[in-house]
A and B are shown apart, each in its own frame.
Chain A
Amino acid sequence: MEYFLQQLINGLTLGAIYGLIAIGYTMVYGIIGMINFAHGEIYMIGAFISIIAFLVIGWAGITWVPLVLALVLLLSMVFTAAYGWTVERIAYRPLRSSPRLAPLISAIGMSIFLQNYVQILQGARVKPIQPVVQGGVKLMERADGFVVQISYLQIVIILLTIALMFGFNQIIQGTSLGRSQRACEQDKTMAGLLGVNVDRTISLTFVMGAALAAVAGFMVTLYYGVIDFYIGFLAGVKAFTAAVLGGIGSLPGAMLGGILIGLIEAFWSAYFTIEYKDVATFTILVLVLIFRPTGLLGRPEIEKV
């Protein structure tokens, strides 16, 4: 029971990170109908910018931890968003009216390019970082000494994710930008006829997705303490799995899918074999694609108009 509880906490933390990345996949798919395979790399870049920001802020002599975290997060979101914007501008916008396969190939190319770009600039070695947030809350202790605890960092990750989800949902449902995004998702021609700058709305969608991926990169940097140029691949594919599981195109679906994938991974590692945790995740992807291609919260393509 105690062991189960601990894995639940770990799984939720991991799931929050996957969910934040998955939202970027699902939003871009919603608005332009393509899988942005470079999104995992955007997350990786977010992690690198976080490490660089930690160093810079360290040199600047700021030591109060909450301020450091807030500044790093902000810097990472801003710069990563700029990457997201640039990727769309260079690799996808010129292909807007091409067949669907073209931007997909362009995305894969962009993904390979960004990996190599970071590898050359930052080196291929693993980058470590000193633990910034330490300690935690002891929830329970079993007779044999096994302690269930939630670390302060896990609390930060989960609360930050909840806050972001809430704020993000407000933007999509309650602002004119969010309305324009939903309109472009349904009918870009009509949105244009009503005065929506469709290109700009698509750009902003990439910017928002990248900013959330940056948050995930920031969290992973703190959580694991090590990153390298290749982390975007696996995390990207898993977050993509999460988006498909939740129903691609659905925002709540992406978050739900992320949490489920995190939990599956945590419990699989705990009760079966940790070596096969990725196999478990991708088995889910295959099963969902076969038996429920619209995902848990996705809607069927056919619509009464």
Chain B
Amino acid sequence: MKTVKIIILMATFWLTIHVSMAASLTVFAAASLTDSLKQIAADYEKTSGDKIVFNFAASGTLARQIEAGAPADIFFAADETKADALEKKGLLVNGTRKSVLGNTLVIVTPAGAPAINSPAELTNAAVQHIALGELKTVPCGTYAKACLEKLQLWPAVEGKVVPCESVRTVLAAVESGNVDAGFVYKTDAAISNKVKVAYEVPAADAPKISYPLALVKDAPQPEAAGKFIAYLESDAAAVVFKKFGFLVLSSPSTK
């Protein structure tokens, strides 16, 4: 009798978990979207009743996880090439991909550290370590490298580069003062008071920074995901994205 009770109890427990999971949506999103998406999701959860679960990491890492079969509903990356790779493998639902946001690359230095006024100053001997997103998996690092190559500074600074797990790791490394400078997005620099923006990279010197959003092919919750994608393109979401400093590329009001 006791065993039966335990089995019933375990079954109930399992069912509870299962049911509660059924109402939740998994969004794989670029680390730079962390704060803005959390706020948008909190608003959305209140009105829709759906629960949003995030996996924030470097876009390249997320793409690899989706390739490996991770249960993602939505892929929201910071680099079009990461979505290209998944699209080529047929892992995104055709016709759902859109470019929704833009961003600006900035050089940050630890608050209180000697100022840097131009990228060329990164070649100074006083600058020993420069944090960049890992060059292949972290879009911010890919963009930064392209920018430094364009300015013909790459060979001079390559040896100082400390590759980081994500754009937020770059930010943390600069905050700690363990590196002398780092490349992050304007939106990341804005959330920290331990770094200062030393230089804003003009759009002409950096590759086009564009955030693709798409429904994942094997999404466990395709319908709920479609609704959330629509919400991410709504005016309400655009307000939040703009507040954090993103460029909103396709909001209904601008169409």
- The answer on A and B forming one complex is no
Interface residues of B (CB under 8 A from A): none
Q: Taking beta carbons and an 8 Å cutoff, which residues of A are in contact with B?
A: none
